[in-house]
């Protein structure tokens, strides 16, 4: 018995010392990271939590709110997955204010949207959804619409088609499109330019898709560098081109935001109807005004399941998809949707699940707003919940990129002992680099972490390398 007691004490002491050494190693690595010359004046929040042992092993100002960049999508997608469930589908309705008489629809055909990001998307959804819509009308016996196709974009507050604190430099670019109840074609168009000698204008020579009445104010030139911008506001067909493209390349293309996706959707549905033998008396249009008019549902179209939409959002860090998810969460508070309602819904939801977001500043769903700020502790608490308490843990984990293997982490920690071991969401904007996720470490433990860095005095790629080194210093012997 004495021998057993001695062995027990020895093992207890051994594992205690091992745990202390591991904790000390992790905290020392974090301290060294924060003392780097490029980090001394940076705004940093870090928390490394051992999920297996149920304890924090390292931290630096873990409750300090820091700009998030695209790690904000962790909050957006986790909330949606939990609240809406993986099998939720965005509905889009074909409605009418008239009636069917014989083969004629005596009235208008409305497309009423709730934010399905996959309509005509390059990435997800039914590429032939127009055929389904037209076939549904033909099955009702409709051969003529004695009215017009009207895109109803009243589900969101039209004054908030863009988050009010996105910066002008971003507005109208492909990564910061307007957000509409009827997104279409990823809200993205391609502008074709002529790349000529240095100093010449990069003139516009084509556009896809074709958009009627669009105008360009062109200050884009051919020169050294590839910093170019296409700026403009939602529902406005005027676009300003600036910056420069590589010279002497012939035909060159840049992506930008479609000015009015709901209208383009209505116009394209009109064309599809006419091609398939359904005549329409008047040209397509759109409305942003909430109507109390009685309308009847002719057909309901549903998106692919939310779990697929979330997987694409997190893997590719798709801002438009994230914003559409975020806006739908606001409908649970009221319609038309207000951004403040979306933010409040997320905070209330996580408060009810013992996660404190009261110190978080949430102004959008994608992290593009420079005013977004969340602490490492808040991220870790949400990530811990999703890994241990969520009924949808498997769908959640599958949605996140894997180090060295997939999505936005394809190059992160590649060809190291942590390749395939880190499952996380990354975030990058001007002066922001962040990561939040899980580490399946070589010691057999699972760790939850968040590393948020703002205003480091070096380039983003160098911050990434420093974060990679930090994780290797902690988790690789």
Rounded to the nearest 5 percent, the helix, strand and coil shares of the chain are 35, 25, 40
Distance of alpha carbon 63 from alpha carbon 378, whole angstroms:
8
Number of domains within the chain: 3
Distance of alpha carbon 372 from alpha carbon 382, whole angstroms:
17
Domain end, chosen from 272, 301, 330, is at: 301
Please name the residue that has the structure tokens 């009827």.
Answer: 182
Distance of alpha carbon 45 from alpha carbon 55, whole angstroms:
17
Question: Does one domain contain both 406 and 444?
Answer: yes
Q: Is 39 exposed, middle or buried (0-12, 13-18, 19+ CB in 10 A)?
A: buried
Question: Does one domain contain both 330 and 409?
Answer: yes
Distance of alpha carbon 408 from alpha carbon 436, whole angstroms:
13
Question: Does one domain contain both 206 and 151?
Answer: no
* Host H or E run for residue 447: strand 446-454
| CATH number for the domain that contains residue 97 | 3.50.80.20
Asked if residue 405 lies in contact with residue 420, where contact means CB atoms within 8 angstroms, the answer is yes
3-state secondary structure of 21: helix
The pLDDT tens digits along the chain (477 residues) read 545 455 544 444 444 434 444 569 999 999 999 999 999 999 999 999 999 999 999 999 999 999 999 999 999 999 999 999 999 999 999 999 999 999 999 999 999 999 999 999 999 999 999 999 999 999 999 999 999 999 999 999 888 898 888 998 899 999 999 999 999 999 999 999 999 999 899 999 999 999 999 999 999 999 876 688 999 999 999 999 999 899 998 898 999 999 999 999 999 999 999 999 999 999 999 999 988 889 999 999 999 999 999 999 999 999 999 999 999 999 888 888 889 999 999 999 999 999 989 889 999 999 999 999 999 999 999 999 999 999 999 999 999 999 999 999 999 999 999 999 999 999 999 899 999 999 999 999 999 999 999 999 999 999 999 999 999 999 997
For residue 15, is it within any domain?
no
Question: Does one domain contain both 418 and 331?
Answer: yes
Distance of alpha carbon 190 from alpha carbon 220, whole angstroms:
15
Domain that holds residue 241: 168-257
For residue 21, is it within any domain?
no
pTM: 0.92
Distance of alpha carbon 200 from alpha carbon 223, whole angstroms:
8
User: Which residues on neighbouring strands pair with residue 99, listed in sequence order?
Assistant: 106
Question: Does one domain contain both 108 and 232?
Answer: no
Which distant-in-sequence residues (6+ apart) come within 8 Å of 393 by Cβ? 386, 387
Asked if residue 176 lies in contact with residue 243, where contact means CB atoms within 8 angstroms, the answer is no
């Amino acid at each position: 018995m004495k021998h057993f007691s001695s062995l027990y004490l020895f093992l207890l002491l051994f594992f205690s010392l091992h745990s202390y050494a591991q904790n000390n190693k992790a905290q020392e690595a974090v301290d060294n990271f924060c003392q780097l010359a490029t980090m001394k004046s940076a705004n940093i929040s870090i928390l490394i939590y051992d999920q297996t042992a149920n304890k924090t092993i390292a931290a630096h100002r873990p409750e300090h709110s820091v700009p998030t960049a695209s790690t904000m999508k962790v909050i957006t997608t986790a909330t949606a997955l939990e609240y809406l469930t993986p099998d939720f589908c965005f509905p889009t309705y074909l409605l009418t204010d008239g009636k069917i008489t014989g083969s004629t629809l005596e009235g208008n055909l409305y497309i009423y949207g709730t934010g399905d990001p996959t309509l005509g998307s390059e990435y997800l959804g039914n590429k032939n959804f127009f055929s389904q819509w037209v076939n549904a009308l033909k099955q009702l016996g409709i051969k003529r619409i004695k009215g017009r196709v009207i895109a109803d974009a009243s589900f969101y507050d039209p004054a908030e088609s863009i988050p009010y604190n996105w910066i002008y430099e971003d507005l109208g670019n492909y990564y910061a499109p307007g957000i509409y109840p009827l997104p279409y074609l990823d809200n993205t168009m391609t502008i074709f330019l002529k790349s000529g000698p240095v100093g010449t204008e990069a003139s516009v020579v084509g556009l896809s898709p074709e958009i009627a009445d669009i105008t360009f104010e062109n200050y884009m030139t051919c020169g050294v560098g590839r910093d170019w911008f296409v700026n403009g506001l939602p529902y406005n067909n005027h676009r300003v081109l600036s910056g420069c493209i590589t010279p002497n390349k012939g035909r060159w293309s840049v992506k930008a935001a479609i000015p009015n996706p709901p209208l383009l959707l209505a116009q394209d549905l009109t064309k599809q109807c006419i091609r398939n033998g359904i005549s329409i008396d008047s040209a397509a249009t759109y409305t942003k005004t909430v109507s109390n008019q009685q309308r009847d549902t002719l057909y309901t179209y549903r998106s692919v399941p939310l779990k697929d939409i979330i997987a694409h959002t997190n893997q590719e860090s798709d801002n438009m998809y994230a914003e559409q998810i975020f806006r739908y969460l606001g409908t649970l508070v009221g319609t038309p949707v207000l951004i403040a309602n979306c933010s409040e819904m997320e905070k209330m939801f996580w408060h009810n699940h013992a996660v404190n977001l009261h110190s978080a500043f949430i102004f959008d769903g994608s992290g593009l707003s420079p005013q977004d700020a969340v602490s490492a502790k808040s991220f870790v608490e949400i990530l811990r919940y999703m890994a241990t308490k969520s009924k949808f843990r498997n769908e959640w984990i599958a949605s996140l990129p894997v180090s060295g293997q997939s999505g936005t982490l394809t190059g992160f920690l590649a060809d190291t002992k942590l390749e395939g071991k880190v499952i996380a969401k990354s975030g990058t904007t001007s002066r922001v680099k962040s990561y939040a996720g899980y580490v399946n470490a070589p010691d057999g433990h699972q760790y939850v972490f968040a590393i948020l860095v703002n205003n480091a005095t070096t380039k983003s790629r160098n911050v990434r390398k420093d974060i990679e080194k930090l994780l290797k210093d902690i988790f690789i012997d």
